[in-house]
Amino acid sequence: MLYGRSAESGTLDEVIARARAGHGGAAVLRGEAGAGKTALLDAAAGHGTDARVLRATGVEAEAGLAFAALHQLLWPVTGALDALPAPQRDAVRAALGLTGETAGDPYPLGAGVLSLLAEAAAPHGLICLIDDFQWVDRASAHALLFTARRLATERIALLFAVRGDTPVPGIPLTVQVGGLPHAAAAEMLRARHGVPSGVARDLIAATGANPLALDEIAARLSPAQLAGTAPLPDPLPGGARLFGDRVAALSPGAALLARVAAVEPEVGPALRATGLLHAEDSGRAGPLADAGRTALAELEEAGLAELHGARLRFRHPLIRSAVYEAAPRAGLRRVHTVLAQLTTGDRRAWHLASAAVGPDERVAAELVAAAERARERGGYGSAATALARAAELTPEPGPRAVRLKDAAVAAWLGGRPGQAESLLAEAREQPGTDTALALEIARLRGRFELNAGDATEAVRILSTGDSIGMLADAAEAASYAGDTAALIRLGRRAAAHPPGFLRDTVAGIGLALDGDPAGPGLLRRALAQARAGEPREAAEYLWAAAAAGQLGETDLAAGMAERAGRVARVSGMTGQLPVVLEFVATAERLAGRLASSRAVSEEGLALAREAGYPNTVAAHLANLAVVAALRGEQEDCERLAREALAIAVPHRVGLRAGVAGYARALLDLGLGRHAAAHERFTALTAAGPGATSPAVVWRIAPDHIEAALGAGEEAAAREVLAAYERSSAHATTPESRALLARCRGLAHSRAEDLAEALRLHTNTFEAARTALLLGERLRRARRPAEARGQLRRAAETFERAGAGPWARRARDELRAAGGGGPAPVPAVLDALTPQELRIAGLVAEGLSSKRIADRLFLSPRTVEYHLYKIYPKLGIGSRTELARLVVLRKAPVPEADRL
């Protein structure tokens, strides 16, 4: 029976009830040892009526074993694996050791855990209980938290119990489990031990009403002490270690088994090791199992441990602590040595490591092998732990540095950037590190800095290398920082390398920025190589996008970015997906697909936060701010821009800071505040590295010209045009020529240039921007009949895109031209949530629910749930109708996809 926990139980019952109704969620129970977290989990399991219950408990001895906790949780439901999409199924099987294949990336694994639990939840719901989360291995923890953040449409309640300050990121609901209310504590003492109120008051004051402490101490008091006729002992029995006296009272055999179980919870090896150690201590041979069984019976009778399947589980973690603290260090090492003889694989490696008393290359090598197995199964956090311990045991500084470096990479991939940086710093300090290793470590430092730190520092670090790979990384960092001078220097250095796609791109960008006529030729050659070679990696498409962007061809760059996104999703290298989605979201926004751009950025934002990539977080926030500006959502635009700048400015990521600043300027422009917009655009153009980027300055030029003219600053508009003409001198795609024609038409008041721009446009949204400007000019030239057609076209396009301010401006102009305003064109896709929009887009591509689940790291059941929400919102009833609707609402395919 639970005493005094109605509020905590009520909260958990609500989470479970919502999950059973199809609104899954997670909660964290947080409190000190003995507060009653496990009892609350037990009660929650019982309140789920016919819901299925799965359970796992973190064990300190298994914290280094990849997927140990996940194995506990999922083993009863592995029969449902065949229902999962193939990549998810294979990832889960690999993680659980059911196949020799590798899991590789954490996203398919996390999605696979979600899908498997969703299958287990049918038909009555599922309650997953994770006890002692502070000791759950990192690989399992990552997969479980990934799942917990995606339960909104599942019939799953995921409850974590954790001691102390161990973080459980991304779970907003936390239930603090402290001492019992005094009345409830007194009632528990009276009901269980007959303690009168006066004695109960003293015990409550001495224990902080911790229920375990109260129960254990009361059980050790004499009848007179319980009755209050004799004083309570001072100190109270148990003290800090409530179970110390009970552990000390065990027979030698039971104490030995307890010691073994403290480091090896699997009952088979534990009993065999106890038998061997007992025979060794007693000096006589005999049936090894007998000693273990006798000891196990004593532990169970004493209420200290119990068999739970194939595991020997202490009744409370503090019992294990008491056993461990009472054991001599040499005795524990001896236990580990024997267990190493009885176990294999990862368990053997960790037992050997725990038995080691100094550097030992043989043991270190076994840990490295364990790390490799963990890494192949997607357990990067566990691999990092094993490699770090292997480094400690490595005698020679050179191999030690290599293992620290590998541990840093695994920690980074496991979403622990702080640990990665610490390990890399330790690797740098190892004496005698060779030049090649030093450069490899420097490259990693630079990449870490670029993703999570100061972009200009990343440029400095990466510029120390001279390989084309490091020069390319340095150029990437310089582009993020907005450092033109560095890009030019790096381009000159890259030009000294043999020709090749990457060399031509990096050299071409630098030379083009420096005004060298060889630069554009190199970029054209790189793009030809990209087309001919059909890049297999997303990064290659992004470099092709950079080459196109430097040439002034935003439409081609956008097409390459979209291809990068498709490759990243299907290549099995989804760890780079948050970064790739920065560019995909931008491409969608430039195409005028605002709802799609927002959906992509929200997905990228969630993945970037999970991966620990703050600079990528800033990128997605900045793009969301621009989308909000185009939609006229002032408060959202300002908030998102502030959040992006709060990361980008101190990290000196000029590219993202510039985009966030652009969002504010574009908001002013869309709302007709031309003077404010011109002021913001001018400030962005004048800002230096770390605060903006030449790429941003170039891309905003058409908007800047429009704002300057609206503010009456004609000279400024022509100055911006001159710079834009120089940067677009080598652009040849129709869309790039259309934008240039529009800018000339505005700056020089030539309607024929605007008409030429309309003829050239391939981007429907930009065509609408030009049509609006031309229609305004025609109306002011007293040619209303011609103006009305252009303005109606613009208004309809803006309505479909959800660009409210621009649609209102077009409608107002149309009414002024005597058109009376167009019939509203409902932006039907705006009715969809970002998740629904992503699913609708993939349905239009012809993907099944399983394939969509695989692409978006969801369960197939979640996909089906969203489809049944989408149909009534759009007034349709089938996938075919949905696909037709999505295709009709999409802008024409960019030129890059017609190559």
Specify the CATH number for the domain of residue 872. Answer: 1.10.10.10
Residue 825 has pLDDT above 60, yes or no: no
Q: What's the average model confidence in pLDDT over 841-868?
A: 88
pLDDT at 280: 82
Rounded to whole angstroms, the Cα distance separating 582 from 601 reads 7
The token pair at 616 is 């990528």
Mean pLDDT of 284-308: 77
As given in the structure block, the two tokens for residue 161 are: 């119990």
Q: How far is CA 650 from CA 455, 625, 656, 686, 704, in A?
A: 10, 19, 12, 19, 26
- Residue in the block written with tokens 């704002």: 707
Please report whether residue 773 resides in a domain: no
pLDDT(873) > 90: no
Q: Are residues 231 and 313 in the same domain?
A: no
The mean-pLDDT minimum among 34-48, 475-489, 570-584, 722-736 falls in: 570-584
Query: Which H/E stretch holds residue 749?
Result: none
H helices of 414-500, where? 417-428, 435-452, 455-462, 468-481, 484-495
Partner residues linked to 306 by β-bridges: 313
The better pLDDT of the pair 243, 872 is held by 872
Residue 499 lies in a domain: yes
pLDDT in tens, 417-443: 888 889 999 999 988 778 899 999 999
Q: What was the pLDDT predicted at 893?
A: 35
pLDDT over 90, % of the chain: 61
**433 Cβ contact partners less than 8 Å away, ≥ 6 residues apart:** 397, 398, 401, 427, 441
State the CATH number of the domain containing residue 283: 1.25.40
- Check: CB of residue 848 under 8 Å from CB of residue 840: no
> 26: helix, coil or strand?
strand
Both tokens of residue 222? 């004499």
Higher pLDDT, 388 or 241: 388
Calpha distance 770→254 (Å, rounded): 85
Q: Look at residues 452, 499, 504, 450 and name the one whose alpha carbon lies nearest to residue 479.
A: 450
| Across 479-493, 621-635, 815-829, least confident range | 815-829
Instruction: Decide if 794 is inside a domain.
Output: no
pLDDT digits (tens, 9 = 90+) for 113-158: 999 999 999 888 999 999 999 999 988 999 999 999 999 889 999 9
Confidence of residue 897 (pLDDT cuts 50, 70, 90): very low
Of 861, 897, 605, 888, which is closest to residue 764 (Cα–Cα)?
888
Please indicate, yes or no, whether residues 361 and 301 belong to a single structural domain of this protein: yes
Shared domain check, 203 and 125: no
pLDDT in tens, 604-631: 999 898 888 999 999 999 999 999 999 9
16 lies in some domain: yes
Rounded-to-integer distance, Cα 476 and Cα 96, Å = 38
Q: Mean of the pLDDT values across residues 290-305?
A: 85
- For the segment 220-233, the average pLDDT, to the nearest whole number, is 86
- DSSP lists the bridge partners of residue 127 as 53, 157
Question: Quick one: pLDDT at residue 709?
Answer: 95
Residues 439 and 296 in one domain: yes
- Rounded CA-CA distance 404/425 in Å is 9
Q: How many domains does the chain have?
A: 5
37 with 152, same domain: the answer is yes
Q: Decide if 160 contacts 26 (C-beta within 8 A).
A: yes
Q: What is the pLDDT of residues 551-600, one digit of tens each?
A: 999 889 998 998 888 888 765 555 678 999 999 999 999 988 898 899 99
| 104 — pLDDT class (breaks 50, 70, 90) | low
**Is residue 778 in some structural domain?**
no
Are 302 and 170 part of one and the same domain?
no
pLDDT band at 47 (very low <50, low <70, confident <90, very high): confident
CA distance 104 to 804: 44
How many CA atoms lie within 13 Å of 819's alpha carbon, on the beta-carbon side? 26
What percent of the chain clears pLDDT 70, i.e. is strictly above it? 94
**DSSP code at position 832:** S
For residue 25, what are the β-bridge partners? 157
The tally of CA atoms less than 13 A away on the side-chain side of residue 171 is 29
Residues 340 and 419 in one domain: yes
Find the domain containing 893 and state its range.
831-898
Name the domain boundary from 159, 176, 193: 176
Residue 321 to residues 263, 315, 316, 318, 327: CA-CA distances in angstroms?
Answer: 11, 12, 9, 5, 10
Q: Please report which confidence band the pLDDT of residue 827 belongs to, taking 50, 70 and 90 as the band edges.
A: low
Strands 305-308 and 311-314: antiparallel
Distance CA(572)–CA(855), nearest Å, equals 11
In a domain? residue 100: yes
DSSP 231-275: PPPSSPTTTT-TTHHHHHTS-HHHHHHHHHHTT--BHHHHHHHHH
Element (H, E) at 708: helix 701-710
pLDDT of 320 reads 84
Residue 194 lies in a domain: yes
281 plus 373 within the same structural domain: yes
Segment 793-816 shows an average pLDDT of: 91
Give the tokens for residue 430: 């190892």
Angle between helices 554-570 and 538-550 (to 10 degrees): 170
Same domain, yes or no: 338 and 204: no
Amino acid, single-letter form, for residue 850 = K
Q: Cα separation of 395 and 430, whole Å?
A: 12
Q: Are 428 and 471 within one domain?
A: no
Domain boundary among 130, 149, 176: 176
Q: Of the candidates 342, 345, 332, which has an alpha carbon nearest to the alpha carbon of residue 273?
A: 342
Q: What CATH number is associated with residue 86? A: 3.40.50.300
Each as own residue / partner, the long-range contacts of residues 791-799 (CB below 8 Å, 24 or more positions apart, any chain) are 791/817, 791/819, 792/819, 792/822, 793/768, 794/768, 794/769, 795/821, 795/822, 795/825, 796/822, 796/825, 797/592, 797/764, 797/765, 797/767, 797/768, 797/771, 798/768, 798/772, 799/824, 799/825, 799/826, 799/827
Residue 886 lies in a domain: yes
Q: Where are the alpha helices (DSSP H) in 711-803?
A: 714-727, 734-747, 751-760, 764-780, 784-801
Taking all residues of the chain, what is their mean pLDDT, rounded to a whole number?
Answer: 89
How high is the pLDDT of residue 894?
A: 37
Candidates 352, 348, 254, 234; CA nearest to 294 is 254
Percent helix / strand / coil, the chain, rounded to 5? 70, 5, 25
Q: Give residue 103's pLDDT.
A: 58
Q: Do residues 706 and 773 make contact, with C-beta atoms less than 8 angstroms apart? A: yes
Residues 269 and 339 in one domain: yes
Band (pLDDT 50/70/90 cuts) for residue 500 is: very high
Residues 455 and 442 in one domain: no
287-296, 461-470, 646-655: the lowest-pLDDT one: 287-296
Q: pLDDT-based confidence at 317, cuts 50/70/90?
A: confident
Q: Out of 280-289, 360-369, 761-770, pick the least confident.
A: 280-289
Q: Model confidence at 50, in pLDDT bands (50, 70, 90)?
A: confident
| Under 8 Å between Cβ of 232 and 221 | yes
pLDDT tops 60 at residue 895: no
Q: Tell me 467's DSSP state.
A: S
> Which has more confidence, 285 or 485?
485
Residue 238 — very low, low, confident or very high, per pLDDT cuts 50/70/90?
A: low
Place of tokens 């908030």: 639
**Which residue from 442, 492, 419, 511 is spatially nearest to 730, judged by alpha carbons?**
511
Report residue 203 as tokens: 């015990």
pLDDT tens sequence across 171-209: 989 999 999 999 999 999 999 999 998 899 999 988 889
Out of 239, 272, 288, a domain closes at 239
